[in-house]
Amino acid sequence: MMQIGVITGLSVSHTTASVDEIELASCETVDDRVSELLTKPGVSEAFALQTCNRSEAYVVTDRADQGRAALTDIVTDVREGAVEHMDHEASLRHLMRVAAGLESLVLGEDQIIGQFKTAVEASRSAGGIGPLLEDAIMKAVHVGERARTETEINEGVVSLGSAAVELASQETDLEGATALVVGAGEMGSLAAKSLVSAGVDRILVANRTIPHATHIAETIDVEATAIGLDAAPAAAETAAVVIAATGSPEYVLETDALAAVGETICIDLAQPRDIDPAAADVDGVAVYDIDALESVTESTHRRREAAARAVEAMIDEEFDRLTALFKRKRADEAISSMYESAERVKNREVATAFAKLDARGELTDDQREVIESLADSLVSQLLSAPTKSLRDAAAEDDWTTIQTAMQLFNPEFGGELPSNTDSSGSTDRTPSDSAGRPKDRSDELPDGVSHDELPADVLEQLSSE
């Protein structure tokens, strides 16, 4: 299937948006977002990524304006300045930057690569991943893995969970304290391990599914107890620090539930929020959200700047490889159509020749083999120069030549190839003369190839052009 189309992307993240604005741009699940996007006019592929500090969506359409229109509804209620719109090339680069951790609140954090892969599988299960996004997303995953194995981008504070514990340790003494972790997902697990390293003596892990909380409790090296989510408010009364990171659509800890907790640091890493922000008005309760972690992560950013520069160079390298892959695939599709067309003509003409010769006397197997070999050789020699021209055209972003080849050799091809995907999203069109008619391209045959040597159906298309 031809890789026709351009990617259009949209991001609402911590770099430009508040927690509330990210929540406004989020959907209940990635599957829901992708399924919704696939119903939009012109959308053939879709991918979505939602984490506690970003909501992003990408679509593949024939034209960039279709992609922008398909994504509009996502940010209807979001301040324009909080939204980043991305064309094809910007989307490709951004996907790689996200997977590598360069767009994370904690520069180079490890959790994003797992979240990215989970989003890929959810988008795939919803039918959103096609050939164009497959190549783009798998390249992003590859870059994310390279960044972490070949650089020190993830040295030091490596997650929002550990950043939350760092913030808590700045606000209160965690040595010998009791902590409450609300949520038993990856974020909760990372927070629990960081709390152990910070010196807490006891951890309560609250989760809707208690066996999941039990799993975390059994994997950390301090006294730990798994409890149900409904027991979290009471548990908070014994905790010096509460770190919340569930996927609940509603508040897990309401203001009234925290009224009697006393001196407690509450850090909310969830999206949407787990802790009612109004709880900050309760005496002794300090509530922090993701936005508050920026000061904590600033020193990590400074330490990782050199590694980030190395990852930027890696992205440039992998971006060039990805665009070269797209070009090669488009050329190969045109070349394949050309050879398939020639093969059909060859088989038909060889069969006609066999029938005529058989009428004059039965052909031997050796004679048949010679005729078939001659036909194969003619096809190969005739198409050698066009094959090279098509590959050169792809390397030079000459999509007009690619499009003309597709129109000549693939009767089912009726669309237009995207251009070299510049920021305008425009598409190249077949050249026309001063009257607006398509130019006659019959004089652009490779050297040494005459009209008489081309298959009849190709000559017909050339003359009609």
Q: Is 313 helix (H, G, I), strand (E, B) or coil?
A: helix
- Work out the angle between the directed axes of helices 88-100 and 111-125 (0-180°, nearest 10): 130
The amino acid sitting at 168 is: A
| Cα–Cα distance measured from residue 206 to residue 422, given in angstroms and rounded to the nearest whole number | 49
Q: Which of 417, 340, 444 is nearest to 3 (CA)?
A: 417
Using an 8 Å Cβ cutoff, are 126 and 31 in contact?
yes
Q: Tokens 């730990």 appear where?
A: 224
Strands of 54-61's sheet, edge to edge? 45-51, 54-61, 6-13, 84-86
**Contact indicator for 27, 33 with CB cutoff of 8 Å:** yes
88 contacts 8 by C-beta, under 8 angstroms:
yes
Q: State the number of CA atoms in the 13 A half-sphere of 365 facing the CB.
A: 0
Residue 225 to residues 228, 239, 250, Cα–Cα distance (Å): 10, 13, 24
Report how far residue 233's alpha carbon sits from residue 404's, in angstroms, rounded to the nearest whole number.
68
Q: What angle do CA 287, 292, 295 make, to 5 degrees?
A: 140
Backbone phi, psi, residue 182, to 5°: -105, 110
Instruction: Kindly list the distances between the CA atom of residue 102 and the CA atoms of 55, 148, 153, 206, 310, in Å, as whole numbers in the listed order.
Output: 16, 11, 9, 31, 11
CA dihedral 315, 319, 325, 330 (to 10 degrees): 160
* Marked catalytic residue, from 30, 46, 52, 240: 52
User: How far, in Å, are 39, 56, 83, 103 from residue 16 at the CA level?
Assistant: 28, 13, 7, 11
Q: How far apart are CA 323 and CA 136, in angstroms?
A: 9
- 52 catalytic, yes or no? yes
Q: Residues for the chain: how many in total?
A: 465
Helix (H) or strand (E) holding 464: helix 456-464
Active site residues: 52
